[in-house]
Amino acid sequence: MLQSVSAERIWTELKRLIIGRMADHVIRCMIEECKLQKYLGLPESPNVNRFAVVFSRHEGNLEPMTMIASLCETPEEIERFHKKTKIIRYIKYGA
């Protein structure tokens, strides 16, 4: 069912969650308990510990893509996320 959700919708919802209230706990649950990373375009083993540290230091003050990057280990993982969510269109056209 989740594989049928559009890439644009995934990005729209994820960018709200990833900088929202208690994002460190929400993202950890989504990844470790629900195993949603493949549907979200995230790496197979996202770095949720680094995400939690970055979030706790800058809670609510960072861009969503910065928080996504904290879950990734390599530039290639970030590129895969861009392709999965079609985020490049948002960056290019300001959508």
pLDDT digits (tens, 9 = 90+) for 71-87: 999 999 999 998 888 87
Q: What is the mean pLDDT of the chain?
A: 88
- CB under 8 A, 24+ apart: contacts of 5-10: 5/39, 7/41, 7/84, 7/85, 7/86, 8/85, 8/86, 10/39, 10/40, 10/41, 10/84, 10/85
Statement: residue 24 has pLDDT above 60: yes
- Which position has the token pair 């979030």? 55
Q: Give the predicted TM-score (pTM) of the model.
A: 0.84
Mean predicted confidence (pLDDT) in 16-45? 94
Spatial CB neighbours of 16, under 8 Å, sequence gap ≥ 6: 64
Query: In b/e form, how buried is each residue of 48-71, taking b as 16+ CB within 10 angstroms?
Result: beebbebbeeeeeebebbebbbbb
> What pLDDT does 83 receive?
87
Statement: residue 93 has pLDDT above 60: no
> What pLDDT does 5 receive?
86
Q: Domain extents for the chain? A: 2-93
